[in-house]
Structure 1
């Protein structure tokens, strides 16, 4: 059975998120290694959290549950967890920038 186009757009969007977030994380970490500033290491951690938060959907749906159709409560819980992890990443980046 062929997957619906929404599945493929979900997969492509999450792949792009992984590439962009992974690139920002790696760039921040490489900058930290070059200049040894703690705030750059924090920024790398913040970008990693944001990337992870955005990818929790695909990790849970395809890795853990192995199904892309979720019920309303399950979807709401997953979106809440996504938002909390992304918020934590933004807070870490805010803290890193305030220390710079």
Structure 2
């Protein structure tokens, strides 16, 4: 059975998101290692939380549970955790910018 094109689009977009988030996290961490400034470390943590939160749903849906086997309660819990991680990352990024 072939997968719908929407699933492939979701996979491609999340792969791009993961690569971009990982690069931003690595660049922020390298800047922290070079300049030893706390806001740069906080930015790296914020980017990491946002990246993890963004790809968490895809990893669970496709890799662990099965994208068509989720019930409404599982999907709601998964989206809540995803949103909490992204919100936490944004708060840490705000803290890093305010500290700088």
Distance 1:12 1:63 in 2: 15
Deviations 1:38-88 (A, max 9, x none): 1101100000000000001111112221x1122222211111111100000
Structure 2 stretches lacking a partner, 5+ long? none
Structure 1 stretches lacking a partner, 5+ long? none
Q: RMSD between aligned alpha carbons? A: 1.0
TM-score by length of 2: 0.93
- 1:19-58 alignment to 2 at 5 Å? 19-58=19-58
Moved segments of 4+, more than 3 Å: none
Distance 2:86 2:26 in 1: 18
Matched position secondary structure for 2:2: coil
Which residue does 1:94 correspond to in 2?
94
Distance 1:86 1:40 in 2: 18
TM-score by length of 1: 0.93
Aligned residues: 99
Deviations 1:3-35 (A, max 9, x none): 111110110011011011111101111111111
Distance 2:50 2:28 in 1: 13
Distance 1:27 1:83 in 2: 24
